[in-house]
């Protein structure tokens, strides 16, 4: 699945949760990921203070 990274260690991933695709928002702090929340759509990212224009796709394959 796709992963995007933003400023201040923000990580946005597409995952499947309860058979539904969602966006998982985490923050990378010192190599550890801390869950910030889930969004059902891209428009909900703004409610978490995430600007789509600042996200960059991570070219690495997820583990």
H/E stretch holding 44 reads none
Residue from 55, 46, 5 nearest 26 by CA:
5
How much is the pLDDT for 63?
A: 57
pLDDT tens-place string over residues 18-51: 999 999 999 999 999 999 999 999 999 998 889 9
How much is the pLDDT for 2?
A: 86
Q: Would you list the domain boundaries of the chain?
A: 3-49
Q: Is the Cβ–Cβ distance between 53 and 7 less than 8 Å?
A: no
The pTM for the full model equals: 0.85
Cα 32 to the center of its chain, rounded Å: 14
């Amino acid at each position: 699945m796709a992963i995007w990274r933003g400023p201040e260690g923000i990580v946005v991933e597409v995952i499947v949760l309860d058979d539904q695709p969602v966006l998982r928002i985490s923050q990378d702090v010192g190599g550890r990921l801390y869950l910030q929340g889930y969004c059902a759509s891209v428009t909900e990212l703004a409610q978490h203070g995430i600007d789509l224009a600042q996200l960059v796709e991570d070219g690495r394959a997820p583990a």
